[in-house]
Structure formats: C-alpha cells, structure tokens
Structure 1
Amino acid sequence: MERAEKQEMVTSLHEVFSDAASIVVVHYDGLTVSEITALRSQMREVGASLKVTKNRLTRLALKGTNYEGISDLFTGPTAIGYADDPVSAPSALAKFAKGNDKLRILGGGMGDTVLDQSGVKALAELPSLDELRGKLVGILQAPAQKLAAVTQAPAGQLARVFSAYGNKDAA
C-alpha cells in the first residue's frame, strides 16, 4: 500500500469515527467471503456499515476523536461496525454473532463512552430510533383517541334514546 493510500485511508477512517453514533469492534477470524458478504448485506439493511481495518492505521485515525479509548481493541483481524443510529450496528452484529461463533464482539464505543462486550450487547437489545419514534407517536395519539371516544359517547347515547322512542311510538 502506497503512502498516499495509507494517508487517504486514515483520513477516511477519521471521518467515520467523527461522524458515527456508535462503533463496534469485532474479530472476524475464520469467516468466509460469503459470510462476510451476508453480514455486510444485513448491516446495510439496517443502515449500518462494516469495514475491515488495518490496526495501525485505525489507531492513527482514532486520534482526536471521541473514540480514542477503544484503540487497544485493535489487535488481530478486526473490523468495525458503525452507523448514524447508535443501536443499529450493535444489534446487527450481535444478531449475526449469535448464529456464527467466528464473529466475536470485542467492544466498542458510543460517543466518548467505551463499551465492553456486555455493554455492546446491552446496546444491541435497545429498540432502534424508528421503533422509539413509533412508540412515542402511539403514546401521543392514545389520549386524542380516548378523548374522541368520550366526546362521541353522549351523542351516540342520545341517538339511541331518540331511536328507541321513535320505535316505541311506531309500535
């Protein structure tokens, strides 16, 4: 790899570390090309990315970012999972790791917080941002629906009373 390519890779990784909401570091030793391709596809589906990294260049790229604390995780065959949503990358990687023991989660970070394996798995179990938004909308709509039902009930009862009187007179 030429010096210019290395510098470009460090710059690219630095941008990733500066923009990502969460980073997950994994060992992928023993995964086949088709398994890595399947993992990348699963990551893309949830809006996350997987990047195989060179450890020395990654440590250089970490300098000056919130994720400097995870630099000691970069030993051996490592890859990083990252996304704009803090939950999507950890959840996709944890789901894949459950079905494949060759992918091992080493740790990660969210902002300036360093996460160990259990921290990443706990983050993976949280609902995604879209799910939380859906729940919030549901909570906000529930009082309005109940209010509409309560205000319609007296009018419905009056209509039934008038209908009963009308049917009584007709009989």
Structure 2
Amino acid sequence: MPLTREEKAALVADLKDKLSQAQVTVLTDFRGLDVATITKLRKRIREAGGQYKVVKNTLTARAAGEAGIQGLDAYLTGPVALAFGFGDPVAVPKVLTQFIREFKHLEIKGGILQGKVVPPEEIRALADLPPRETLLAQVVGGFQAPLVGLVGVLQGTIRKLVYALDAVREKKAAAAGQA
C-alpha cells in the first residue's frame, strides 16, 4: 500500500534527524540477503549502538538535502539500506565489514561521515581503525612518554646532587674524625 504524503513527510523528518545525529551513516546494497540474515545484521548493529533501516532512495535523497548533505545521489541506485552509527564512528562500519566476510552478499556503496559524503573505500578504512578508546589511549600515551622521560632526567639530576652532598658530608665526617 503506498504511503500517504503525511507519512512520507514524517519519514523524511525522521531520516533527516537520524542523518544529522549519526556520527557515521553507511549505505549498503542488501540484495541477496534473506529476512533472517537482515534481522541478524540489525541485531549486531543495534548492539554496536546503531540502527539499520531500509528506506526508499527518493526519501533518503530528500532527507539528505534537508540535512545539508550534498553528493549522496550517486550512491542511491538500486536497493539501499542505511546503517546509522550514533556513538563510536568506527563501530558500525566494523560490524558491517565483519558481516560481509561472513555472508558475502552485503555491499558497502558509500557513506556519510560527520556530514560529509565519503566513498566506500573510506568506510572500509574506517572499519580498520581501532576503537575510539584505544585511539585516545594511544594519544595519551604519546603525550605521556616525553613527560616520563623529563621526570627521569630531573630525578637523575636530583639524585646526582644528593650523592654529591652525601660524599661531601662523608668527607667532612672523615676529616672531623681524624682531627
């Protein structure tokens, strides 16, 4: 049964909100997947903090235009489903690439990363990145390493001063003991 104009407007508004809120949106071609497999995919994406939705291309194009996203029309050919990632921008692409290795039929057509349209290669590269927490830990480690070195140098200088003062004290004590 066709959607009424009001239902389409509500869908476009909902899509616009999701496109605006999502850190990453991945466009996929889901041909060849049965309902049970798509249900598994939806569950995995939900567990990663995302949502998987099949929407008409015309409605997606309209919502993208309203959200200020340009250049998406080239990827809206054939059956397209949208995988929204609302938290970590790496999580949903990682789930999709793992799912592709497992089921083969799913294809990444392109995506939107923080409001900019990106080709499928960039989405796959994004999936190869470590999680956000790991990246933050690496950055903090990079800042921490020079500080640890500086602390070591300062401790070495202070230690040498203490040894020199201790040697002077021992020398004076020995001189006082001989006198």
Q: TM (normalized to structure 1)? A: 0.76
Structure 2 residue aligned with 1:157 = none
Q: 1:108 and 1:140 mapped to 2: Cα distance? A: 33
TM-superposed CA distance for 1:124, in Å, is 0.9
Which of residues 111, 116, 125 in structure 2 aligns to 1:113?
116
Which of residues 31, 34, 41 in structure 1 aligns to 2:33?
31
Structure 2 residue aligned with 1:165 = none
| Superposed CA RMSD | 2.7
Structure 2 residue aligned with 1:15 = 17
Q: 1:79 and 1:67 mapped to 2: Cα distance? A: 17
Matches within 5 A, 1:123-138: 123-136=126-139
1:67–1:111 contact (8 Å) kept in structure 2: no
Larger radius of gyration: 2
Q: 1:104 and 1:35 mapped to 2: Cα distance? A: 14
3-state SS of paired residue (2:28): strand
TM-superposed CA distance for 1:113, in Å, is 3.1
Which amino acid in 2 is paired with 1:116?
Answer: P
TM-superposed CA distance for 1:67, in Å, is 2.8
CA offsets 1:29-76 (integer angstroms, 9 cap, x no match) = 121111111111111121121111111111111113243222221121
1:104 is the counterpart of 2:107: yes
Which amino acid in 2 is paired with 1:71?
Answer: D
2:20–2:115 contact (8 Å) kept in structure 1: no
Q: 2:66 and 2:33 mapped to 1: Cα distance? A: 32
Structure 1 stretch displaced more, 134-143 or 77-86:
134-143
Matches within 5 A, 1:9-158: 9-84=11-86, 85-136=88-139
Q: 1:64 and 1:2 mapped to 2: Cα distance? A: 20
Which amino acid in 1 is paired with 2:109?
Answer: L
Task: Rate the CA distance shift 1:59–1:4 in 2: closer, same or farther, 3 A.
Answer: same
TM-superposed CA distance for 1:102, in Å, is 1.2
Q: 2:60 and 2:20 mapped to 1: Cα distance? A: 13
Q: 2:51 and 2:148 mapped to 1: Cα distance? A: 40
3-state SS of paired residue (2:133): helix
Q: 1:43 and 1:111 mapped to 2: Cα distance? A: 18
